[in-house]
């Protein structure tokens, strides 16, 4: 069971700047966190098999209060494994999402209109047990909260 979502964007900017913003710790910290959350990159080892670990923390006082009330942690770490690095064109990593794996692939190409990004997010699910279904639901809740 595999599902994919593809998003495309085109930016008028030098490809090296796009790459730096996408793959450096300071760059990622400037855009990765959803509204009300701050992301700190703890480690990003740009090579296949390297670790990409970040901590996502709520910064919005209202959000913090509601998360504490619901007994949820206000910050958590996500550790992904980088699977493909080809500067400044391709960056792919796998993230554990409960028992599932989510693959995030970003490909940058230079064209006449600027740098084109093709982002592919894919989830692979092999069989779902009761426990997995619960983990699934809680991830859903957590992300719904981040989007709110």
Partner 1 sequence: MGDLARKLPIAQSGVSRHLRILKDAGMVESRTEGQRRIYSLRAEPFEKLSEWLGQYRRLWENRLDQFELELERQTAASPPRVELGRKTAPKKPNSRRTK
CA distances from 116 to 18, 19, 68, 76 (A): 10, 12, 40, 31
User: Phi, psi at residue 36, to the nearest 5°?
Assistant: 90, 0
Q: Is 123 in the site for partner 1 (CB under 8 A)?
A: yes
The residue from 38, 55, 121, 135 that contacts partner 1 (CB under 8 A) is 121
Residue closer to partner 1, measured from CB, 49 or 147: 147
Residues 6+ apart with CB under 8 A from 136: 98, 100, 128
**Residue 100: both structure tokens together:** 């599932």
Q: Which of residues 95-114 bind partner 1 (CB under 8 A)?
A: 102
The residue from 11, 51, 94, 135 that contacts partner 1 (CB under 8 A) is 11
**Residue 110: both structure tokens together:** 């230079």
Collapse the DSSP code of 53 into the 3-class scheme (helix H, G, I; strand E, B; otherwise coil) and give the result: strand
Q: Is 70 in the site for partner 1 (CB under 8 A)?
A: no
List residues binding partner 1 (CB under 8 A): 1, 3-5, 7, 9, 11-14, 17-18, 21-22, 27, 30-32, 34-35, 102, 117, 119, 121, 123, 125, 127-130, 132-133, 136, 139-140, 143-144, 146-147
């Amino acid at each position: 069971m595999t599902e994919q979502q593809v998003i495309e964007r085109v930016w008028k900017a030098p490809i090296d700047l796009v790459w730096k913003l996408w793959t450096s710790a300071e760059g990622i910290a400037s855009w990765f966190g959803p509204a009300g959350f701050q992301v700190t990159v703890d480690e990003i080892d740009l090579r296949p098999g390297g670790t990409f670990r970040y901590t996502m923390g709520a910064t919005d006082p209202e959000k913090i209060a509601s998360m504490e009330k619901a007994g949820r942690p206000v910050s958590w770490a996500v550790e992904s494994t980088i699977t493909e690095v080809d500067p400044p064109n391709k960056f792919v990593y796998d993230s554990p999402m409960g028992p599932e794996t989510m693959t995030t692939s970003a490909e940058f190409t230079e064209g006449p209109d600027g740098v084109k990004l093709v982002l592919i997010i894919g989830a692979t699910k092999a069989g779902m047990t009761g426990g997995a279904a619960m983990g699934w639901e809680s991830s859903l809740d957590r992300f719904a909260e981040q989007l709110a």
